């Protein structure tokens, strides 16, 4: 018997552990796996705030746990499995690189629901969610275009993936809209969070005469560099309020709480279904942090008007006429980009004098 | 007064006792740390060291120990051979990454061909890739006297860049919608490195690790080359008189440890990790250095040390999951282990004597 137990296959053990008879009033266990530490002050921090919001909203009806700093790849698969084995019925996996591990683990735990951030693979029990950060980028791009004096704005990219390229294009389009002379410089950090590399990238941009820095990386290092040089920048992922009122003149905040609360509520009600959510300013998932007094009142008003127009759905940041960088037409006059186009975006729009690394 | 007196030769008793003492001291000091942070120390230590083996979900975590330990043991076996000879390969992480890339390249080049020879060819390519990456510091040392410590370490960062380039460029999955990362080899039957017996965790990398332990044991204790290696480590000049050619030894040791690290990378990419991503290196190459020393550079010691380190990883995750212990605490815990090991190492080479006052 002992030997048989030892030889029991993983799947049998998983089945036994994954299907406990759950009493009606037992709390719903919700698990989270994070790619960084909860104290990163950016991406993971925001996800953890949303987890706390879930606890606050549902009180005793839920019980949340998280595992932080999980490397993408094989370790993620184990961490996810352990969360499922520990009885979590809903698991949020908050990094793109958790995608294949989520799919593998979800196949073994059909009664556990998975939510995967920024990915593109779904299943019966795997939903994906993402935020339309490009909407927020349009707003801060407008501020950048108005504020630059050298007419050179810089962008610190993390990785050349569609989400980041959307942001670069969106901020450039809207900067140019208010300032036809504006030019964009792009530097890739190849990291989501690496203060040293981000600082280096910021220095390189500043040396080129850039006086407004946008970033799609999570540390405050670029803001610190901007401060030294008298340039300005924007908070990324979280508000980065410590750098107010300047160099941080505004920020683009990831607000996951509405989505997390909604999805946890649906599991509690039994109405959860798989799907792909891509919400933006209108749903409160992308938030523009306070625009400080370092920005002239009319620019602030202009930016807020754009924010509200995007939020109400009246305006889409990718509306034609728009050409690709190679000069071919992308969107005709009045045409709006499809979500599918955006989600696989791998080109810069006309006017950005940079190459996407291949 | 207490003073240290050098021993004539290293004490055999202490050789075995110090790792055990180090583990014990880590438990005590780690427990103290957990207590200061407000966690129940006994529960934390039990979760880390006991639960993965005998806890409620042990039927899942026991096989995972093998998955986690295999690359550590495989790499450390190779490293230990060089360390015995005083040849310091610090760059196994880079050789691991390159081996993974060259191995996966074979599969991706012929995709979707199904053939029996594909996996063996990938293993050969992984070995060759790691070997070649290890030969760079070897040749630079032999030809120009460059420090293999620095060169091999610096090549880790080059390898990481190569991995990013591959993931975003030549090896990017053409069906991945522009997202980084190669095809998933787990879904390519001829190239996959799956569990050989369901529920055991054992994939070909585990088999290879076991073989590496046996082979390095044979090499070091039964083969003339092993004798040369040990001689060169203890008394380089004497070894030279005995006909040992230091250049051959450098090439052999760096080549061997590189090849084994490369194979470990291939097994991981084709198995648990599944794909080439920019985060291919998750630190096995560096952790293996700890494993090699914890295991006293002896094959059997390395086997045990690899399993112990794997236990702290998996137990550490469980502690995060069940007790919400921060990830960093677990890393501190692993750091303590190495610290105490090196500290107690003193006892193998020195005797503690009470000074008799004159």
Per-residue confidence (pLDDT) for residue A358, from 0 to 100: 65
Q: How far is A342 from chain B (nearest CA, A)?
A: 10
Per-residue confidence (pLDDT) for residue A58, from 0 to 100: 95
> In the block, which residue shows the tokens 């390159």?
B98
The whole-number average pLDDT for the span B324-352 is: 83
DSSP A156: E
Contact B186 A104 (CB under 8 A): yes
Q: What is the pTM of this model?
A: 0.80
Mutation test of the interface with chain A: which of B70, B100, B179, B264, choosing the one with the most A Cβ atoms within 10 A? B179
Hey, what are B12's tokens? 């055999």
Residues in B lying within 8 Å of A, measured between beta carbons: 56-57, 59-61, 63-64, 67-68, 161, 164, 168-169, 177-181, 184, 186, 198-199, 268, 271-275, 277-280, 282-283, 314, 317-318, 320-322, 324, 326-328
Count CA atoms closer than 13 A to B283's CA, side-chain side: 12
pLDDT single digits (tens) A164-206: 999 999 999 999 999 999 999 999 988 888 889 999 999 999 9
Per-residue confidence (pLDDT) for residue A336, from 0 to 100: 94
Residues of A with Cβ-Cβ distance to B279 under 8 angstroms:
71-73, 97
Closest by alpha carbon to B51, among B17, B60, A36?
A: B60
Evaluate whether B66 touches B201 at the Cβ level (below 8 Å).
yes
Evaluate whether A112 touches A88 at the Cβ level (below 8 Å).
yes
> In the block, which residue shows the tokens 């980028």?
A137
DSSP-assigned states of every residue in A237-287: ES--GGGTTTTEEEEEEE--HHHHHHHHHHHHHT-----EEEE-GGGTSEE
Per-residue confidence (pLDDT) for residue B240, from 0 to 100: 83
* Count of pairs with CB atoms under 8 A, one residue in A, one in B: 116
Q: What are the helix (H) ranges across B177-298?
A: 204-222, 224-234, 236-241, 246-270, 284-294
Q: Residue B249: inside a domain, yes or no? A: yes
Residues of B with Cβ-Cβ distance to A348 under 8 angstroms:
none
Helix (H, G, I), strand (E, B) or coil at A68: coil
Contact A68 B326 (CB under 8 A): yes
Per-residue confidence (pLDDT) for residue B357, from 0 to 100: 58
Q: How far is B282 from chain A (nearest CA, A)?
A: 7
**A134-254+286-343 CATH fold:** Rossmann fold (3.40.50)
> In the block, which residue shows the tokens 């990324």?
A236
| Residue B137 pLDDT exceeds 50 | yes
Closest by alpha carbon to B281, among B101, B140, B107, B125?
A: B101
Residues of A with Cβ-Cβ distance to B164 under 8 angstroms:
190
Evaluate whether A169 touches A230 at the Cβ level (below 8 Å).
no
The rounded radius of gyration (Å) of the Cα atoms in chain B is: 22
Mutation test of the interface with chain B: which of A118, A128, A158, A161, choosing the one with the most B Cβ atoms within 10 A? A161
pLDDT single digits (tens) A130-153: 999 999 999 999 999 999 999 999
| C-alpha separations of B8 from A298, B11, B13, B19, B86 in Å | 83, 9, 14, 21, 20
Hey, what are B311's tokens? 């236990």
β-strand A212-215 against A152-157: which pairing, if any?
A: parallel
By CB neighbour count within 10 A (0-12 exposed, 13-18 middle, 19+ buried), where does A153 fall?
A: buried
Hey, what are B249's tokens? 């030894």
d(CA A92, CA A80): 9
pLDDT single digits (tens) A292-330: 999 999 999 999 999 999 999 999 999 989 999 999 999
Q: Residue B238: inside a domain, yes or no? A: yes
pLDDT single digits (tens) B56-94: 878 888 888 999 999 999 999 999 999 999 999 999 999
In sequence order, the 6+-apart residues with CB closer than 8 A to the CB of B297 are: B80, B83, B84
Chain B contact present for A338, CB below 8 A:
no
Mean pLDDT, chain B, integer: 89
Residue among B64, B67, B279 whose CB faces A97 most closely: B279
| Residue A13 pLDDT exceeds 60 | no
Q: Range with the lowest mean pLDDT among B44-53, B67-76, B91-100, B171-180?
A: B171-180
Question: Which has more pLDDT, B222 or B9?
Answer: B222
Tally of domains in chain B: 1
Question: Which has more pLDDT, A222 or B3?
Answer: A222
Indicate the length of chain A as a whole number.
358
Query: What percentage of chain A reaches a pLDDT higher than 90?
Result: 72
| Residue A6 pLDDT exceeds 50 | no
Question: Which has more pLDDT, A4 or A279?
Answer: A279
The whole-number average pLDDT for the span B319-338 is: 84
DSSP A324: B
Q: Residue B28: inside a domain, yes or no? A: no
Q: What is the dihedral of CA B206, B210, B211, B216, to 10 degrees?
A: 130
The CATH 3.40.50.2300 domain(s) of chain A lie at 2-131, 134-254+286-343
Residues of B with Cβ-Cβ distance to A8 under 8 angstroms:
59, 199
Backbone angles phi, psi at A288, to 5 degrees: -90, 120
Count CA atoms closer than 13 A to B85's CA, side-chain side: 29
| Residue A105 pLDDT exceeds 90 | yes
d(CA A85, CA A64): 14
Per-residue confidence (pLDDT) for residue B178, from 0 to 100: 66
Q: Residue B47: inside a domain, yes or no? A: no
d(CA A22, CA A112): 13
Contact A68 B320 (CB under 8 A): yes
d(CA B276, CA B279): 8
In sequence order, the 6+-apart residues with CB closer than 8 A to the CB of B174 are: none
| C-alpha separations of B292 from A255, B28, B70, B285 in Å | 45, 23, 13, 11
Question: Per DSSP, which regions of A41-179 are E strands?
Answer: 62-67, 90-93, 113-117, 126-131, 152-157
- pLDDT band for position B205 (cuts 50, 70, 90): very high
Chain B contact present for A86, CB below 8 A:
yes
Interface subset of A 18-57, CB within 8 angstroms of B: 31, 37-38
Residue among B168, B321, B324 whose CB faces A357 most closely: B168
Q: Residue B29: inside a domain, yes or no? A: no
Residue B131: which domain range? 64-281
Mutation test of the interface with chain B: which of A18, A64, A100, choosing the one with the most B Cβ atoms within 10 A? A100
The whole-number average pLDDT for the span B185-189 is: 88
| Residue A15 pLDDT exceeds 80 | no
Chain B contact present for A356, CB below 8 A:
no
- pLDDT band for position B35 (cuts 50, 70, 90): very high
| C-alpha separations of B269 from A72, A126, B77, B184, B201 in Å | 12, 24, 20, 9, 15
β-strand A276-279 against A183-188: which pairing, if any?
A: unpaired
pLDDT single digits (tens) B270-317: 988 889 988 888 889 999 998 998 888 999 999 999 999 999 888 888
Residues of B with Cβ-Cβ distance to A96 under 8 angstroms:
179
Per-residue confidence (pLDDT) for residue A22, from 0 to 100: 45
Query: What percentage of chain B reaches a pLDDT higher than 90?
Result: 47
Q: Residue B344: inside a domain, yes or no? A: no
| Residue A335 pLDDT exceeds 90 | yes
Q: Range with the lowest mean pLDDT among A336-340, B100-104, B117-121, B276-280?
A: B276-280
The rounded radius of gyration (Å) of the Cα atoms in chain A is: 22
Residue among A67, A96, A100 whose CB faces B184 most closely: A100
Residues of B with Cβ-Cβ distance to A79 under 8 angstroms:
317, 321
> Does domain A2-131 match CATH 3.40.50.2300?
yes
Per-residue confidence (pLDDT) for residue B225, from 0 to 100: 87
- pLDDT band for position A18 (cuts 50, 70, 90): very low
Evaluate whether A147 touches A299 at the Cβ level (below 8 Å).
yes
DSSP A319: B
Hey, what are B203's tokens? 């994939």
d(CA B164, CA B151): 20
Q: Report how many helices (DSSP H) and strands (DSSP E) chain B contains, helices first.
A: 15, 2
- pLDDT band for position A218 (cuts 50, 70, 90): confident
Angle value at C-alpha A308, between A302 and A310, nearest 5 degrees: 105
Mutation test of the interface with chain A: which of B158, B196, B310, B327, choosing the one with the most A Cβ atoms within 10 A? B327
Q: Residue B99: inside a domain, yes or no? A: yes
């Amino acid at each position: 018997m002992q030997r048989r137990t030892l030889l029991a296959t993983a799947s049998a053990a998983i089945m036994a552990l994954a299907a406990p008879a759950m009493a009606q009033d037992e709390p719903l266990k919700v698990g989270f796996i994070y790619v960084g530490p909860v104290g990163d002050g950016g991406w993971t921090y925001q996800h953890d705030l949303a987890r706390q919001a879930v606890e606050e909203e549902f009180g005793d009806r839920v019980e949340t746990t998280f595992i932080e700093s999980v490397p993408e790849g094989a370790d993620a698969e184990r961490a996810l499995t352990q969360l499922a084995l520990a009885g979590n019925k809903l698991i949020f996996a908050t990094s793109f690189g958790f995608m294949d591990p989520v799919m593998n683990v979800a196949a073994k735990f059909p009664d556990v629901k998975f939510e995967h951030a920024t990915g593109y693979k779904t299943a019966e029990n795997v939903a994906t969610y993402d935020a339309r950060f490009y909407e927020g980028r349009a707003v801060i791009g407008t501020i950048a275009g108005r504020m630059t004096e050298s007419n050179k704005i810089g962008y610190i990219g993390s990785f050349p993936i569609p989400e980041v390229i959307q942001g670069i294009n969106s901020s450039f389009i809207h900067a140019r809209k208010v300032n036809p002379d504006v030019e964009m410089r792009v530097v890739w950090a190849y990291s989501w969070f690496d203060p040293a590399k981000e600082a280096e990238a910021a220095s390189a941009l500043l040396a080129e005469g850039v006086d407004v820095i946008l970033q799609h990386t999570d540390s405050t290092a670029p803001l610190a560099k901007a401060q030294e040089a008298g340039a300005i920048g924007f908070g990324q992922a979280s508000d980065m309020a410590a750098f107010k009122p300047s160099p941080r003149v505004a920020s683009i905040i990831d607000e996951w709480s509405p989505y997390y609360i909604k999805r946890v509520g649906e599991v509690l009600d039994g109405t959860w279904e798989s799907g792909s959510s891509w919400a933006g300013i209108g749903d409160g998932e992308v938030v523009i942090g306070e625009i400080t007094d370092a920005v002239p009142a009319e620019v602030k008003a202009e930016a807020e008007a754009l924010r509200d127009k995007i939020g109400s759905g009246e305006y889409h940041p990718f509306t034609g006429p728009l050409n690709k960088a190679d000069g071919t037409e992308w969107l005709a006059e009045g045409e709006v980009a499809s979500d599918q186009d955006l989600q696989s975006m791998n080109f810069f729009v006309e006017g950005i004098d940079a190459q996407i690394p291949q | 007064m207490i003073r240290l007196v050098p021993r004539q030769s290293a004490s055999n008793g202490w050789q075995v006792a110090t790792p055990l003492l180090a583990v014990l001291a880590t438990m005590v000091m780690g427990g103290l740390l957990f207590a200061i942070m407000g966690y129940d120390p006994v529960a934390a230590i039990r979760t880390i060291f006991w639960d993965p083996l005998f806890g409620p979900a042990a039927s899942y975590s026991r096989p995972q120990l093998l998955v986690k330990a295999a690359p550590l043991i495989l790499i450390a076996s190779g490293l230990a051979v060089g360390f015995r000879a005083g040849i310091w390969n610090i760059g196994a992480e880079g050789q691991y990454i390159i081996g993974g890339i060259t191995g996966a390249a074979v599969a991706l080049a012929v995709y979707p061909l199904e053939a029996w020879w594909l996996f063996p060819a990938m293993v050969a390519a992984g070995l060759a890739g790691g070997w070649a990456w290890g030969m760079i510091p070897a040749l630079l040392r032999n030809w120009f006297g460059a420090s293999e410590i620095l060169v091999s370490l610096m090549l880790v960062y080059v390898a990481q860049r190569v991995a990013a380039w591959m993931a975003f460029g030549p090896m990017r999955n053409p069906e991945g919608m522009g997202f980084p990362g190669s095809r998933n080899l787990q879904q390519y039957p001829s190239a996959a490195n799956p569990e050989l017996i369901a529920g055991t965790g054992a994939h070909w990398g585990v088999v290879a690790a076991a073989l590496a332990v046996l082979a390095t044991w044979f090499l070091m204790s039964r083969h003339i080359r092993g004798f040369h290696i040990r001689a060169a480590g203890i008394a380089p000049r004497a070894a030279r008189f005995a006909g040992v050619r230091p250049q051959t030894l450098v090439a052999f040791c760096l080549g061997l440890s590189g090849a084994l690290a490369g194979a470990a990378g291939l097994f991981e990419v084709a198995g648990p990790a599944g794909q080439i991503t920019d985060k291919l290196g998750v630190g096995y190459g560096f952790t293996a250095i700890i494993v090699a020393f914890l295991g006293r550079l002896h094959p059997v010691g390395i086997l045990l040390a690899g399993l112990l380190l794997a236990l702290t990883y998996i137990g550490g995750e469980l502690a995060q999951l069940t007790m919400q212990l921060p990830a960093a605490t677990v890393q501190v815990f692993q750091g303590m282990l190495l610290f105490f090991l090196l500290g107690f190492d003193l006892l193998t080479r020195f005797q503690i004597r009470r000074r008799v006052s004159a």
